[in-house]
Amino acid sequence: MKLYGRIQTEISCADFIRIANRCLRRIKKQAPEDFARLQRVVRCVSSYETTRECDLGEWVADPRPSDRPEHWDWEDGEMTGQLFIKPDLPEDQLLGVFVHELGHACTVTDDLKPLRSVISDEWSSEIMADKYASKWGFERHLQICRESREMLHHGPPPGCEWEEYGARFRLNADYSVERLTPIPELPPELRAMREECLRQNQIAGQLGDEESLRDPSA
Ligand SMILES: [Zn+2]
């Protein structure tokens, strides 16, 4: 079966199909270029079985093909994959979870670079997923979902302030991250360690995925 556009789904529940199609139509209207990308990257939408209350959906990117060197650089940063969702949630919550996972699917490496240089990788990716969903007009549905989400895992809501590296950060309404206080001065040896850490993080962000492309037997 196909959803609006050409994304395949293994879910036959009529309510889910109707809600997912409504969501995809709105994305096409709000951001045709994002809709086109989703058509390219989402291979399939499947049913997600879990016993944990907070895990209602998941985007699982495909492993990159290690046997096809021409794909190693992935210039556009798009990743194909499979979207899992619990299809029997209440309508508003289902929409919120679905658009958040579509937001993960739509995220490309270039989106993450500015965030990754400031905050942790996991929150960068969660913030970016919500930013896409908000851009498509689903802020209200995200808010409904946040009530059942764990912030530590899923990232902060807009307006939230938190501490990282001893400095205070805030997520603004437009999903930009602002550092509110300076990162405290450290003794030289600790500063060198922190800088090395950040440098390694950036290298890992840029190259880490490429490394995993290499054929381990080569
Ligand atoms: Zn997420």
Each residue of 118-150: pLDDT tens digit? 888 888 999 999 999 999 999 999 998 888 776
Q: Are residues 45 and 144 in the same domain?
A: yes
Q: Are residues 14 and 104 in the same domain?
A: yes
Contact yes or no for 8/82 (Cβ under 8 A): no
Q: Are residues 151 and 190 in the same domain?
A: no
Query: What is the rounded average pLDDT of the residues 202-216?
Result: 56
Q: How far is the CA of 157 from the centre of ligand 1 (A)?
A: 12
Query: Token pair 């880490």 is at which residue?
Result: 208
Written in H, E and C, the secondary structure of 116-139 is HCCCCHHHHHHHHHHHHHHHCCCH
pLDDT score, position 152: 63
Q: Are residues 148 and 202 in the same domain?
A: no
Q: 48 in a domain, yes or no?
A: yes
pLDDT for residue 108 is more than 50: yes
Q: Are residues 33 and 140 in the same domain?
A: yes
Q: How far is the CA of 77 from the centre of ligand 1 (A)?
A: 18
Q: How far is the CA of 185 from the centre of ligand 1 (A)?
A: 33
DSSP helix/strand/coil, 167: strand
- The CA distance from 84 to 160, in Å, is 28
Kind of pairing, strands 81-85 and 42-47? Answer: parallel
pLDDT for residue 23 is more than 90: yes
Element (H, E) at 59: strand 57-61
Q: 175 in a domain, yes or no?
A: no
Cα of first residue to Cα of last residue in the chain, in angstroms, is 40
Q: Are residues 141 and 193 in the same domain?
A: no
DSSP helix/strand/coil, 185: coil
Q: 160 in a domain, yes or no?
A: no
Q: Are residues 39 and 111 in the same domain?
A: yes
25: tokens are 């139509």
Who has greater pLDDT, 153 or 114?
Answer: 114
Q: 133 in a domain, yes or no?
A: yes
Q: Are residues 206 and 109 in the same domain?
A: no
Q: Are residues 123 and 196 in the same domain?
A: no
Give the sign of the dihedral formed by CA 48, CA 51, CA 57, CA 63: negative
Counted domains in the chain: 2
Q: 170 in a domain, yes or no?
A: no
What mean pLDDT value characterizes the chain? Answer: 84
Q: Are residues 85 and 192 in the same domain?
A: no
Q: 163 in a domain, yes or no?
A: no
Query: Could you tell me how many residues make up the chain?
Result: 218
pLDDT score, position 207: 60
Q: Are residues 126 and 190 in the same domain?
A: no
pLDDT for residue 13 is more than 60: yes
Q: Are residues 35 and 121 in the same domain?
A: yes
Q: How far is the CA of 129 from the centre of ligand 1 (A)?
A: 6
Q: How far is the CA of 105 from the centre of ligand 1 (A)?
A: 10
Q: 107 in a domain, yes or no?
A: yes
Asked which of 112, 139, 155 is the last residue of a domain, the reply is 155
pLDDT for residue 215 is more than 60: no
Query: Half-sphere exposure (CA, 13 Å, Cβ side) for 117?
Result: 7
Q: How far is the CA of 149 from the centre of ligand 1 (A)?
A: 10
Question: Mutual orientation of helices 109-116 and 121-135 as an angle, nearest 10°?
Answer: 120
Domain of 207? 186-211
Q: How far is the CA of 173 from the centre of ligand 1 (A)?
A: 18
Query: Token pair 């550092």 is at which residue?
Result: 179
Q: 142 in a domain, yes or no?
A: yes
Q: How far is the CA of 126 from the centre of ligand 1 (A)?
A: 5
b or e along 29-46 (b: 16 or more beta carbons within 10 Å of the residue's beta carbon)? Answer: eebeebbebbeebbeebb
Give per-residue pLDDT as tens, 35-90. Answer: 999 999 999 999 987 666 667 899 999 887 665 555 544 545 888 999 999 998 89
